[in-house]
């Protein structure tokens, strides 16, 4: 197999230089030419190409392969960075959308709470406008129609039907109704009946006092007569 080499050329060149130097030395009177230049030239000779001709193509292919691999690695790195940036941008958008949804929900809840408070304030105002128990003249007895008329004037209009439903089931509007087994008494069947003394000492004989106590009880325990009626329908007591 032939080789491309400049080793022989370098040695021949060094020999030629030495020979010329020797001739010059004789001409100048130097009768002992030195081999130092030849040795130095031989020592400094560099192998410029010592690759078999048949392998040069393989070296070139290997170099191109390395370049292609380097380019592919650079492309993969760029793609990864692009994907990471896209993921970061999407995450930021998702976080912004989530925050906007949370803000909207909080605003909705705040609005609902405000409406609830306004509704309760309106209901309280309505209750304040109705007649008090003490505004009715005391009688020795009351008909069902009279008791119902008193209730209509004491119970807020939007709550009257619920109040009426409970009284219908508990006492059929008989303010002297008494349960023989439990001792519950009056229109709303307070148990014991003496609880109604907190609304007035005449709780046994005055329907207005019983209505006042029953309305307060329903408001405090169930939020309203309609709340009490919903509970009654599910449990048949309140």
Q: How far lies 123's CA from each of 117, 127, 159, in Å?
A: 10, 6, 10
Q: What is the mean pLDDT of residues 42-67?
A: 63
Flag whether pLDDT at 22 surpasses 60. no
Flag whether pLDDT at 131 surpasses 70. yes
pLDDT band at 25 (very low <50, low <70, confident <90, very high): very low
Flag whether pLDDT at 45 surpasses 50. no
pLDDT band at 127 (very low <50, low <70, confident <90, very high): low
| pLDDT for residue 1 | 42
Between helix 144-154 and helix 160-171 the angle, nearest 10°, is 150
* Calpha distance 189→214 (Å, rounded): 9
* Calpha distance 157→118 (Å, rounded): 17
* Calpha distance 196→218 (Å, rounded): 13
Fold of the domain spanning 130-235: Lysozyme (1.10.530)
Helices and strands of the chain, counted as H and E runs: 7, 0
Convert 47-75 to b/e letters by CB count within 10 Å (16 or more is b): eeeeeeeeeeeeeeeeeeeeeeeeeeeee
66-123: per-residue pLDDT in tens? 888 888 888 889 999 989 999 999 999 999 898 988 888 888 888 888 888 877 766 6
Task: Give me the chain's average pLDDT, please.
Answer: 80
Q: Which residue has the higher pLDDT, 7 or 204?
A: 204
> Which one, of 175, 172, 202, 201, lies nearest residue 190 by Cα?
175
Flag whether pLDDT at 227 surpasses 90. yes
């Amino acid at each position: 197999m032939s080789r491309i080499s400049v080793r022989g050329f370098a040695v021949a060149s060094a020999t030629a230089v030495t020979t010329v130097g020797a001739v010059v030395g004789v001409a100048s009177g130097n009768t002992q030419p030195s081999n130092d230049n030849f040795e130095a030239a031989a020592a400094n000779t560099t192998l410029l190409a010592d690759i078999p001709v048949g392998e040069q193509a393989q070296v070139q292919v290997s170099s191109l392969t390395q370049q292609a691999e380097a380019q592919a690695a650079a492309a993969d790195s760029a793609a990864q960075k692009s994907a990471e940036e896209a993921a970061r941008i999407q995450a930021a958008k998702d976080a912004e959308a989530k925050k906007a949804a949370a803000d909207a929900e909080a605003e909705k809840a705040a609005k609902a709470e405000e409406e609830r408070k306004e509704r309760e304030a309106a209901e309280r105002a309505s209750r304040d406008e109705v007649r008090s128990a003490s505004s009715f003249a005391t009688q020795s007895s009351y008909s069902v129609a009279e008791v119902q008329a008193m209730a209509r004037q004491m119970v807020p209009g939007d709550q009257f039907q619920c109040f009426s439903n409970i009284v219908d089931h508990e006492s059929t509007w008989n303010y002297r109704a008494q349960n023989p087994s439990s001792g519950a008494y009056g229109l709303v069947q307070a148990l014991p009946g003496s609880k109604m003394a907190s609304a007035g000492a005449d709780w046994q004989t005055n329907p207005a006092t019983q209505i006042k106590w029953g309305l307060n009880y329903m408001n405090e325990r169930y939020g309203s007569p309609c709340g009490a009626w919903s509970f009654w329908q599910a449990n048949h007591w309140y």
